[in-house]
A and B are shown apart, each in its own frame.
Chain A
Amino acid sequence: MKINQNKTYRKILILILTFVLSIGLFGCKNDSKKELSAIYDDLMGTTINVKLYNARQKDLDEVERIYSLYSQLTTNFDRNLFSSDSEFYDLENIYTINQNRGIAPVKVRQELFDLIKYALDLTEKTNGYCNIGIGEAVDVWKSVIESRELYLDKEITEAEYNSTIQQLETIGQVDLTNIELDEENLTVFIKDSNVKLDLGAVAKGYATQLVIDYLKAENITKYMVNAGNSNVALGEHPENRPYRIGLTDALGYYKNGFIGIASLNNRHIVTSGNYEQFVTYDGVIYHHIISPDDYLPKAYYTSVILIGDNAGLLDAFSTAVYSMPVELAIDFLETNELDYILYLQENNQILTNLPETEFEISEVKAN
Chain B
Amino acid sequence: MKINNKPQFYRDLILISVVLIVVFGIYFFSLFNQTKGEMAHIQYDNKILFSINLENGSRESRTSTYIVTSMPVIEGDKLLINNVIDNRLDTGDGVIVFENSYVIKGRLGYVLLEYSPEKKMIQVVEETSPYNICSNQGFSNSAPIVCLPNYVTIVFGDIDVDVIM
**Which residue in A11, A248, A256 is a CB contact (below 8 Å) of B12?**
A11
Query: Across the interface, which residues of B come within 8 angstroms of A41, CB to CB?
Result: 64
| Residue contact A245 to B165, C-beta cutoff 8 Å | yes
| Residue contact A22 to B12, C-beta cutoff 8 Å | no
Chain B: number of interface residues, binned into ranges:
35 or more
| Residue contact A239 to B34, C-beta cutoff 8 Å | yes
CB-contacts of B9-50 with A (<8 A)? 12, 15-16, 19-20, 23-24, 27, 31, 34-35, 41, 45-48
Q: B157 in the interface, Cβ–Cβ < 8 Å? A: yes
Q: B155 in the interface, Cβ–Cβ < 8 Å? A: yes
Most chain B CB within 10 A, of A29, A241, A245, A246, is at A246
Chain B contact residues: helix, strand, loop or mixed: mixed
| Residue contact A256 to B16, C-beta cutoff 8 Å | no
Q: How far is the CA of A261 from the CA of B20 in the complex (A)?
A: 36
| Residue contact A15 to B15, C-beta cutoff 8 Å | yes
Query: Across the interface, which residues of B come within 8 angstroms of A49, CB to CB?
Result: 61
Query: Across the interface, which residues of B come within 8 angstroms of A29, CB to CB?
Result: 27, 31
**Which residue in A248, A257, A276 is a CB contact (below 8 Å) of B155?**
A257
Query: Across the interface, which residues of A come within 8 angstroms of B61, CB to CB?
Result: 39, 49
- Assuming A271-B165, A276-B47, is B159 touching A258 (CB within 8 A)? yes
Shortest Cβ distance from A230 into B: residue:
B165
Shortest Cβ distance from A242 into B: residue:
B162
Q: How far is the CA of A271 from the CA of B24 in the complex (A)?
A: 40
| Residue contact B64 to A47, C-beta cutoff 8 Å | yes
| Residue contact A14 to B27, C-beta cutoff 8 Å | no
- Assuming A239-B31, A256-B157, is B162 touching A19 (CB within 8 A)? no
Query: Across the interface, which residues of B come within 8 angstroms of A258, CB to CB?
Result: 157, 159, 161, 164
Query: Across the interface, which residues of B come within 8 angstroms of A257, CB to CB?
Result: 41, 155, 157
- Minimum CB–CB distance for B2 against chain A, Å: 12
| Residue contact A243 to B163, C-beta cutoff 8 Å | yes
CB-contacts of A227-261 with B (<8 A)? 229-230, 232, 237, 239, 241, 243-248, 250, 256-258, 261
Q: A269 in the interface, Cβ–Cβ < 8 Å? A: yes
Q: A366 in the interface, Cβ–Cβ < 8 Å? A: no
**Which residue in B19, B31, B164 is a CB contact (below 8 Å) of A229?**
B164
Q: How far is the CA of A277 from the CA of B109 in the complex (A)?
A: 23
| Residue contact A18 to B162, C-beta cutoff 8 Å | no
- Assuming A11-B12, A22-B23, A256-B158, is B163 touching A248 (CB within 8 A)? no
Q: How far is the CA of A284 from the CA of B53 in the complex (A)?
A: 36
- Minimum CB–CB distance for A149 against chain B, Å: 9
**Which residue in B12, B24, B27, B159 is a CB contact (below 8 Å) of A246?**
B159
- Minimum CB–CB distance for A146 against chain B, Å: 14
Query: Across the interface, which residues of A come within 8 angstroms of B31, CB to CB?
Result: 29, 239
| Residue contact A25 to B46, C-beta cutoff 8 Å | no
- Minimum CB–CB distance for A319 against chain B, Å: 15
| Residue contact B62 to A229, C-beta cutoff 8 Å | yes
Q: How far is the CA of A244 from the CA of B65 in the complex (A)?
A: 22
Query: Across the interface, which residues of A come within 8 angstroms of B157, CB to CB?
Result: 256-258
Question: 1/0 contact trace for A11-32 toward B, CB 8 Å?
Answer: 1001100110011011001000
- Assuming A41-B64, A257-B41, is B27 touching A244 (CB within 8 A)? no
Shortest Cβ distance from B151 into A: residue:
A152
Shortest Cβ distance from A49 into B: residue:
B61
Q: B114 in the interface, Cβ–Cβ < 8 Å? A: no
Query: Across the interface, which residues of A come within 8 angstroms of B159, CB to CB?
Result: 246, 256, 258, 261
Shortest Cβ distance from B1 into A: residue:
A3
Query: Across the interface, which residues of A come within 8 angstroms of B27, CB to CB?
Result: 25-26, 29
Query: Across the interface, which residues of B come within 8 angstroms of A248, CB to CB?
Result: 48, 164-165
Query: A47-B62, A244-B160 are known contacts; what are 8 more A-B pairs with Cβ within 8 Å?
Result: A29-B31, A39-B61, A150-B91, A229-B165, A246-B159, A248-B164, A250-B46, A258-B161
14 contacts between A and B (CB under 8 A): A25-B27, A39-B61, A152-B107, A229-B163, A241-B35, A243-B162, A243-B163, A244-B162, A245-B162, A245-B164, A246-B161, A247-B165, A258-B161, A305-B165
